[in-house]
Amino acid sequence: MNDIVLHNYFRSSTSHRVRIALEMKGLTYKYVPHHLRHGEHLEPAYLAVNPQGLVPAMIWSDGTLLTQSLAIMEFLDETQPDPPLLPNDPLGRARVRMLAQMIACDIHPVNNLRVLTSLRALFGAGDEDVANWFRHWVNEGFLPLEKLLASSPETGTFCHGGTPGLADICLAAQVTSNTRFDVDLTPYPTIARINAACMSLPAFQKAAPKNQIDAE
């Protein structure tokens, strides 16, 4: 038993990614929930831990604060290499990081709860506007992601070959998030197939939002 602490929210897609990586690595951790919709991440006690007031934030066993899901997952991969989240060759690693970042940099940040909340507050966006916004950016990202995955001989059962990694984690977390806004996966058969392969694995099942202590 180590003493990793993960500041977390069951529905946060970035928290979800880190939970999957921790489960894949077989690492146990203390789950500290912060209810984003109730603003618990902006309370002074949490801002003293993480000035950015976002989740996930991991407190490593030596007390170090680490934030940013991609940085945390790369750290876990460097310190607990088995099973690996990235291939060994630089071009393969670049491909997996590229696929992961097509979601983590181009889809998710624009569809964050705080961005959707700002659209409502600043521009009077209603539920339908917010749902359309969310689906628009998912489709903008999933269309080229599907093309890259479907056209590459490097795509296997998972995004890169026969074992899941960084890109699959981001893909599965995004597909889970999509269900709240009824995103149609029909145009993305490769993404849907890879997501199903991920969700057949215990690590992905255990990390799912609905299985967390703060799930509603």
Measure the CA–CA gap between 53 and 73, rounded to whole angstroms: 19
Cβ 92 to a second copy, closest distance in Å? Answer: 10
Cβ 207 to a second copy, closest distance in Å? Answer: 20
Closer to a second copy by CB, 68 or 163: give it.
68
How far is the CA of 216 from the CAs of 8, 38, 57, 209, in angstroms? 14, 13, 21, 9
Cβ 202 to a second copy, closest distance in Å? Answer: 26
Candidates 197, 4, 25, 174; CA nearest to 101 is 174
Please tell me the total number of residues recorded for the chain in this structure. 216
β-strand partners of 8: 33
Cβ 104 to a second copy, closest distance in Å? Answer: 6
Binding site for a second copy (CB under 8 A): 50-54, 60, 62, 64, 66-68, 70-72, 74-75, 78-79, 90-91, 93-95, 97-98, 100-102, 104-106, 108-110, 112, 114-115, 118-119, 122-125, 129, 132-133, 136, 140-141, 143-144, 147-148
Closer to a second copy by CB, 124 or 162: give it.
124
Measure the CA–CA gap between 167 and 150, rounded to whole angstroms: 14
